[in-house]
Amino acid sequence: MSAWGPGATVECLRRRSERLGLIRDYFKQRAVFEVQTPILAHDTVTEPDIASIAVPGYGYLQTSPEYHMKRLLAAGMPDCYQLGPVFRQDERGRLHRSEFTLLEWYRLGMDHLQLMEEVADLVNQILGVAPFERVSYGSLVSDLSQPREHLDLAFAEAIDALPDGRFFITDYPSDQAALARLSSAQDVAARFELVVNGVEIANGYWELRDAGEHRRRFNKDRERRRLRGLPDIEMDSLFLSALDSGLPNCAGVALGVDRLLMLAEGESSIEAVMAFASDDK
């Protein structure tokens, strides 16, 4: 392959196009509308484990369409999905790039358990039919009393140790709820992740609707950023205003398209299914 050529073969890129078409057809058949939201916006996420790319004078390249899509839902948009590029700073490796393709969708009236079934169905469309197993977060890390950084390491090691297969990880601790609501027991989050052959593919929530709880979690993020010496990130005021107006009952999920297509191709790096990696040089 020449230095200026694509990372993927032309034949692979043709199959990529066909599979993206299958994804769009999947949602069209279910009357889930495609939307397009900004990839450059004034605000970004407060999450300390996600590094946004700042564009001086303009704001940030978006790490996910989540906030904009939820603003659409609050405005009355029905079930919708977005398929397009998102950005994370300094992410490199066989499963990471600073620019990658994300599929995110929201289903009104569903909870996370119902959405898991739809995620499994879509993955079967792309990878072929296979069984899915559910595994609790606690069964993977054993000791939930460990400090957060130790839990994160134990979880990563447990994912690496999983055999090949398709696993939904469920019952995350409440302090790892992100933007998921808590279960009725209040000790676990209504959240799931999908791991396929050791690769984390998707992260989904039964969405938190309480604007006050969002503010509390965002402030906690900002405190964690301060303790780590990271730049402060202001809360997205337009997103919070949309939540104040009322987010409908829904579940949502973000799925890494390049990783999914990598598995479909039997490759070990997402670069093998991308036309050009954003950080080739």
- pLDDT computed for residue 219 by the predictor: 98
The token pair at 273 is 């299914």
How far apart are the C-alpha atoms of 62 and 137, rounded to whole Å? 28
**Are residues 54 and 108 in contact, defined by beta-carbon separation less than 8 angstroms?**
no
- pLDDT computed for residue 3 by the predictor: 80
Q: Where are the domains of the chain?
A: 10-273
- pLDDT computed for residue 278 by the predictor: 64
Q: What percent of the chain has pLDDT over 90?
A: 90
pTM reported for the whole predicted model:
0.96
- pLDDT computed for residue 1 by the predictor: 58
CA-based nearest residue to 242, from 267, 272, 271, 207: 207
pLDDT in tens, 136-195: 999 999 888 888 888 989 999 999 999 999 999 999 999 999 999 998 767 899 999 999
Q: Where are the alpha helices (DSSP H) in 128-228?
A: 137-141, 148-161, 211-228
The token pair at 178 is 């992100």
CA-based nearest residue to 20, from 34, 31, 30: 34
Q: pLDDT band at 104, cuts 50/70/90?
A: very high
Residues 6+ apart with CB under 8 A from 149: none
Q: How many CB atoms lie within 10 A of CB 278?
A: 14
Q: Is the pLDDT of residue 280 over 70?
A: no
Domain 10-273 has CATH 3.30.930.10: yes
Helices (H) and strands (E) in the chain, counts: 8, 11
| Chain position carrying tokens 């405005």 | 75
Residues written for the chain: 281
- pLDDT computed for residue 184 by the predictor: 73
pLDDT in tens, 16-27: 999 999 999 999
User: Which amino acid would we find at residue 23?
Assistant: I
How far apart are the C-alpha atoms of 80 and 78, rounded to whole Å? 6
- pLDDT computed for residue 143 by the predictor: 83
Q: pLDDT band at 281, cuts 50/70/90?
A: low
**Are residues 268 and 94 in contact, defined by beta-carbon separation less than 8 angstroms?**
yes
Average pLDDT, the chain: 95
Q: Work out the average pLDDT over 207-225.
A: 98
49-58, 84-93, 184-193 — which is least confidently predicted?
Answer: 184-193
What is the CA 158 to chain-centroid distance, rounded? 20
- pLDDT computed for residue 155 by the predictor: 93
In what side-by-side order are the strands of the sheet with 250-256? 33-34, 80-87, 99-108, 250-256, 199-206, 188-196, 166-173, 132-136
